[in-house]
Amino acid sequence: MKITVAVLCLFALFSCQSNLSQETKEKIKEKESFWKARSEAINNSKTDLEYPIKKDTTITEQRRYQLYLTSMDCSFEIFIDDVFLTKFIENGTTKRGGYTGNIDLNHLLLTSGTHEIKVLMYPKYGKKIFDTKGILNIKLYYYLKNNFKENFYTTQLNANNGIELSQSSEQWMDKWDQQSQVGYDGSYVSKKPSQLKGLAVYEWRTTFEADVPFNFASWLNSVNLEKEKVTDKKDIRKEVVAEYVKIHKILSNKSSDEYLSIVGERENIFKSCLFYDKNEKTLQRIEFDELMKNDDYVLEPLYEETFQLEFQSYGKLVNIFNKADGESIADAMIGKIYLS
């Protein structure tokens, strides 16, 4: 049986902590209601539709798709085609915690066609359910590799204005001058309010079109592990944990080549999707080797009681999150792991 395991950052495995502390145990206990609400929201929203829906394209432009995200008074997670992309967890360090930034999509698109973006929104720090607050704006655009100063926005997410997820019944919208890359003649426009109030988790999703000059199968052709778990009574958790333990041992031995032999196929796809040139590939390898050799870092032990197993890519990927902090147990590179 072939299992594709989401091995999503090496850095999350490094820490000076040697034992599962009382603080960690308390955090796990504290977040029990969060994991329950999150799991229920994900399970209740499952459909038979799967993305991407591929299409043939002859595009040769090196387009880099990105999301530009801004938020206030909420936390959120973003998934592309049901694969985790990014998250922001508001921690209460400011009165109005928020996020602003952009993030690449190409490495999750894999091919041209119709794709799905899914959002999970959570109340601001210290709140178990949404009140009247919470805003997330999502803009989708691409730029050509050699001209990052000119953005081309997709009309499916309101072009340069983006989609605003909030309880407001209106949104500021302006026209867009492509040449000068500035908005003008703005005004408030009616929109459908997001029904956040009273929820512990709010889910939103939509589809969009993307054209890219590559076509990779990767995990898209994997078997549905979630169905195998149910129909064939497979102990997927046991097998996945065994693979994480194997990877943990390789990292403990600081074996760069052995680790990269496991994740190499996915790393090559990642670099191809983001159009890495030879120098960029070389620099990344140097940085990785330096990290592996850095004696200031020690490998944090794996504690199975912190593991929260989750299926992604409509059942084709498996990831394990830390119940205490929500981070992936291994959070940066996605690799193929083969089990006999």
Nearest residue to 75 via CA among 37, 43, 47: 37
Q: Which residues contact 283 (CB under 8 A, 6 or more apart)?
A: none
Residues 118, 95 within the same domain: yes
Residue 38: what pLDDT?
92
* Residue 242 backbone dihedrals phi, psi, to 5 degrees: -60, -40
Residues 195, 243 within the same domain: no
Residue 94: what pLDDT?
52
Give the domain extent around 192: 53-178+185-215
The domain tally of the chain equals: 2
The answer to whether position 191 is within a domain reads yes
Distances (CA, A) of 323 to 90, 128, 289, 306: 17, 17, 30, 5
The answer to whether position 19 is within a domain reads no
Nearest residue to 229 via CA among 333, 318, 109: 318
Q: Which residues contact 256 (CB under 8 A, 6 or more apart)?
A: 288, 289, 292
The answer to whether position 192 is within a domain reads yes
The DSSP call for residue 128 is S
* Residue 198 backbone dihedrals phi, psi, to 5 degrees: 90, -5
Residues 211, 227 within the same domain: no
Specify the DSSP element, H or E, that contains 100: strand 98-104
Residues 121, 98 within the same domain: yes
Token reading at 178: 């492509």
Answer with the one of 215, 233, 261 that is the final residue of a domain: 215
Residues 101, 247 within the same domain: no
Summarize the chain as % helix, strand, coil (round to 5). Answer: 30, 35, 35
Whether 78 and 85 have beta carbons less than 8 Å apart is answered as yes
Q: Which residues contact 296 (CB under 8 A, 6 or more apart)?
A: none
The answer to whether position 1 is within a domain reads no
d(CA 297, CA 254): 11
Residues 211, 302 within the same domain: no
Task: Give the pTM.
Answer: 0.88
Residues 225, 289 within the same domain: yes
Residues 241, 284 within the same domain: yes
Instruction: Give the number of residues written for the chain.
Output: 340
Residues 159, 257 within the same domain: no
Residue 16: what pLDDT?
35
Specify the DSSP element, H or E, that contains 44: helix 32-44
The DSSP call for residue 64 is E
The answer to whether position 200 is within a domain reads yes
The answer to whether position 4 is within a domain reads no
The answer to whether position 78 is within a domain reads yes
Residues 110, 210 within the same domain: yes
Token reading at 301: 């032990």
DSSP bridge partners of 101: 69
Distances (CA, A) of 25 to 46, 64, 91, 164: 31, 41, 19, 37
Whether 154 and 131 have beta carbons less than 8 Å apart is answered as no
Residue 291: what pLDDT?
84
DSSP readout, 242-305?
HHHHHHHHHHHTT-HHHHHHHHHHHHHHHHHHTT--HHHHHHHHHHHHHHHH-TT--BPPP-GG
Residue 60: what pLDDT?
93
What angle do helix axes 256-273 and 278-293 make, rounded to 10 degrees? 150
Residues 146, 283 within the same domain: no
Provide the residue-wise pLDDT of the chain in tens; the chain has 340 residues: 444 444 433 434 433 344 778 888 998 998 898 899 999 999 888 888 999 999 988 899 999 999 999 999 999 999 999 999 999 987 765 556 689 999 999 999 999 999 999 999 999 888 999 999 999 999 999 999 989 899 999 999 999 999 999 999 999 999 999 999 999 999 999 999 999 999 999 999 999 999 999 999 888 988 999 988 888 888 998 988 888 888 888 888 888 899 888 888 889 999 999 999 999 999 999 998 888 888 887 777 888 888 989 999 999 999 888 898 888 765 422 333 333 2
Residues 280, 135 within the same domain: no
d(CA 147, CA 179): 13
Whether 8 and 330 have beta carbons less than 8 Å apart is answered as yes
The answer to whether position 22 is within a domain reads no
DSSP bridge partners of 144: 63, 147
